[in-house]
């Protein structure tokens, strides 16, 4: 046919059409696959407000004693992530919130993982299977690193183990720093197995404490314990640990710099402060059993009552905070009607006697005061970025069959008869944990691990040895408070 297409031309057109169709189908198929699967060279992207905080998600799958069991990702504050060791691999499945065992991880507004234990039977166990995703990984997993302030594992979760290298100082020595009433080696006590126990966190090893390392880390710095007599025990424990229980004539008493001098008629000063000259390190203790500001209601009356301001920090802390580098706060055991009456403390809020019935209860007042002191310290930290603040959770009492003045006892001398391991992730001191949440004040969580150590108290071996009266509140030293300081040192 004239002017028509030749057979060869038609064949070329048909071949071109078939090729174009094949290419189009291949392109459509690739789009479908890419929409359902992440490419292998995909770079992990994190939402600016995404936080992953699930200690079961990074379990012991690696079998390493130094594996990390908690991670927090904050791309808004830390655009890049660095970690020294170990490297944590987080697979894309975890971060994209795919359902795991039928459960979608649920996050609060603050980014914390919500408790889903009540939503499905066995949900905790199912959620724990996230560890399989994290630890298995593959060659395309992203290497993520933990932000500097979160690289420690949960130091309050672990077990007590026997260590023949304990104690860290002699119970016969340390007379320069240790009160004789707490030195159980100087009493009639004959069992000392409790001195041989060391705390070992579940998924990491705490750095071994030495006085040399502590002083170097705290060079030109001041550490202050502010709290009740349990805070004083922690202070004396640290002085013994740093010096190895040896006399140190070169260590200077600098209490006068902080107004810690014994006034006329008092049994002791309100605290002590000592300075190690080789590193210019100062360790001090200030007695503030309630962590409230105390002011005389009638200064001209020697028998006046004292206003216990639930919403104001101790005057000592507010005055000396700029000079401090590390503060460790605690309160708890003085919050009872007997102590308030004996000390003539009257609850005040906003500068006037408290009239709020909820706050007027002992539990309500204590909780209110804890939140107040934590919030006040948190408000001051931006002004003093050199300060690191801790709130220490409550030290447990072990009175059985009564209280301290009604025949209560703690006669057990067998270590760990109640158990040796802490498996929970949350603190047993609910008020303390809730108070520090969302603040820059860190929780020094010692409650659950100390709860297992009922044999470590002074018990009936006190210096006075009053019949029918046992001290099931304070601890023998060396003893449990040494562990509190090791955990503190690990977080400095």
Sheet holding 345-349, edge to edge: 293-296, 306-309, 345-349, 352-353
CB 130 within 8 A of CB 56: yes
* Number of DSSP helices (H) and strands (E) in the chain, helices first: 13, 18
CA distances from 163 to 154, 193, 199, 347, 437 (A): 21, 10, 9, 46, 34
Q: What is the reported pLDDT for 196?
A: 97
DSSP state of 245: T
Residue appearing with tokens 């691990």 = 449
Beta bridge partners, 327, equal 224, 389
pLDDT classification of 149: cutoffs 50, 70, 90: very low
Q: Of 22-26, 85-89, 385-389, give the range with the top mean pLDDT.
A: 385-389
List b or e across 464-479, with b for residues whose CB sees 16 or more CB atoms inside 10 angstroms: eeeeeebbbbbbbbbb
In angstroms, the CA 191 to CA 171 distance is 12
Beta bridge partners, 349, equal 352
CB 303 within 8 A of CB 238: no
DSSP state of 3: T
pLDDT classification of 170: cutoffs 50, 70, 90: very high
Q: Which candidate, 285, 233, 223, places its Cα nearest to that of 489?
A: 223
Angle between helices 480-490 and 229-243 (to 10 degrees): 70
In angstroms, the CA 291 to CA 372 distance is 9
pLDDT digits (tens, 9 = 90+) for 378-420: 999 999 999 999 999 999 999 998 887 788 899 899 999 989 9
Q: Which candidate, 251, 329, 255, 246, places its Cα nearest to that of 292?
A: 329
Q: Tell me the average pLDDT across 263-289.
A: 95
Number of Cβ within 10 Å of residue 66's Cβ equals 11
Structure tokens at 6: 């030749």
Q: Is the pLDDT of residue 148 over 90?
A: no
More confident: 142 or 456: 456
Q: Is the pLDDT of residue 126 over 80?
A: no
Q: Residue 440: how many CA atoms within 13 Å on its side-chain side? A: 16
In angstroms, the CA 267 to CA 270 distance is 10
Beta strand 388-392 pairing with 271-276: unpaired
Q: Is the pLDDT of residue 345 over 60?
A: yes
Question: What does pTM read for this prediction?
Answer: 0.70
Q: Is 123 left (phi over 0), alpha (psi -120 to 50) or beta?
A: alpha
DSSP state of 253: E
pLDDT classification of 27: cutoffs 50, 70, 90: low
DSSP state of 185: G
pLDDT digits (tens, 9 = 90+) for 183-241: 999 999 999 999 999 999 998 888 999 999 999 999 999 999 999 999 999 999 999 99
Q: Tell me the average pLDDT across 133-137.
A: 31
CB 367 within 8 A of CB 335: no
Residues above pLDDT 90, as percent of the chain: 61
């Amino acid at each position: 046919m004239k002017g028509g297409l030749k057979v060869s031309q038609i064949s070329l057109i048909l071949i071109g059409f078939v090729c174009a169709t094949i290419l189009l189908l291949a392109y459509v198929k690739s789009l479908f696959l890419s929409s359902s699967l992440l490419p292998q060279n995909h770079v992990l992207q994190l939402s600016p407000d995404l936080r992953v905080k699930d200690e079961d998600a990074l379990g012991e799958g690696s079998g390493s004693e130094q594996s990390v069991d908690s991670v927090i990702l904050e791309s808004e504050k830390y655009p890049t992530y660095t970690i020294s060791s170990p490297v944590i691999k987080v697979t894309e499945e975890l971060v994209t919130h795919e359902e795991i065992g039928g459960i979608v991880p649920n996050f609060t507004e603050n980014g914390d993982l919500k408790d889903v234990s009540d939503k499905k039977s066995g949900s905790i166990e199912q959620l724990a299977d996230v560890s399989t995703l994290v630890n298995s990984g593959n060659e395309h997993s992203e290497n993520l690193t933990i932000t500097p302030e979160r690289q420690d594992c949960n130091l309050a979760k672990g077990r007590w183990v026997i260590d023949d290298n304990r104690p860290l100082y002699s119970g016969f020595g340390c007379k320069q720093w240790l009160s004789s009433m707490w030195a159980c080696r100087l009493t009639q006590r004959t069992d000392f197995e409790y001195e041989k126990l060391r705390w070992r966190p579940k998924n990491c090893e705490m750095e071994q404490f030495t006085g040399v390392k502590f002083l170097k880390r705290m060079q030109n710095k001041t550490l202050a314990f502010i709290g009740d007599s349990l805070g004083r025990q922690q202070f004396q424990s640290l002085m013994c640990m740093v010096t190895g229980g040896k006399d140190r004539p070169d260590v200077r008493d600098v209490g006068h710099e902080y107004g810690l001098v014994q006034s006329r008629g008092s049994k002791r000063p309100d605290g002590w402060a000592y300075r190690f000259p080789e590193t210019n390190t100062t360790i001090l203790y200030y007695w503030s059993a309630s962590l409230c500001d105390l002011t005389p209601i009638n200064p001209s009356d020697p028998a006046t009552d004292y206003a216990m301001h639930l919403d104001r920090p101790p005057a000592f802390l507010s005055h000396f905070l700029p000079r401090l580098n590390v503060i460790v706060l605690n309160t708890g055991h003085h919050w009872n009607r007997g102590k308030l009456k004996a000390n003539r403390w009257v609850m005040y809020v906003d500068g006037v006697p408290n009239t709020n019935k909820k706050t007027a209860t002992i539990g309500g007042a204590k909780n209110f005061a804890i939140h107040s002191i934590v919030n006040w310290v948190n408000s001051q930290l931006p002004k003093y970025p050199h300060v690191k603040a801790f709130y220490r959770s409550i030290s447990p009492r072990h009175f059985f069959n009564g209280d301290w003045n009604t025949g209560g006892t703690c006669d057990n001398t067998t270590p760990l008869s109640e158990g040796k391991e802490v498996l929970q992730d949350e603190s047993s001191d609910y008020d303390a944990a809730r108070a520090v949440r969302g603040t820059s004040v860190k929780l020094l969580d010692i409650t659950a691990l100390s709860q297992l150590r009922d044999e470590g108290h002074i018990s009936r071996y006190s210096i006075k040895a009053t019949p029918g009266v046992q001290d099931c509140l304070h601890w023998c030293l060396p003893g449990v408070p040494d562990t509190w300081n090791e955990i503190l040192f690990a977080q400095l």
